[in-house]
Amino acid sequence: MAASLSSIALGLAGGAMIGCAAAAMLLLLGRIAGVSGLAAQAFRLSDSGSTLIAIAFVIGLPAGAALAKLAGAPMEARFPSIAYLLFGGLCVGFGARLGSGCTSGHGVCGVSRLSRRSLVATAVFMATGILTVAALREAGVVP
């Protein structure tokens, strides 16, 4: 029970930090903290806003995860093969561009602003994720 409580506490702390970062970025810089938009900016696929801020944000994502791991946060990444990982990444990237944003942009920033487009997009993200996990479990690909 203690392990699950610490996992819940870490999740709550992480969620609060994401919310604070998104709010700060919107209030201080006037920018939505959507990862796909910032990644496009960082790699100069988009010219809206500061490239330096986008690069710092994109570097901060894996750096934050590495710091959490070093601090002893329980983390485990599992995927059946590198091909699944690459295919999934391509699908997410294509979907983020097609949907004018990603889960962080729509789910964290858009929903908090009660954007209709973001509410619909987030519902689609969640439904698709649930169906994908159910299908992969049924096929025996993931436990």
CA 104 to chain centre: 5
What does 109-126 look like in DSSP terms, one character per residue? IIHHTT-HHHHHHHHHHH
The pTM (predicted TM-score) of the whole model is 0.65
Q: What is the pLDDT along the chain (143 residues), one digit of tens a residue?
A: 455 767 788 788 888 988 898 888 888 888 888 888 888 888 876 666 678 888 888 898 889 888 888 888 777 877 788 898 899 888 888 888 888 888 878 888 888 889 999 999 899 989 999 999 999 999 988 77
- Sign of the C-alpha dihedral computed for residues 71, 69, 36 and 105 taken in this order: negative
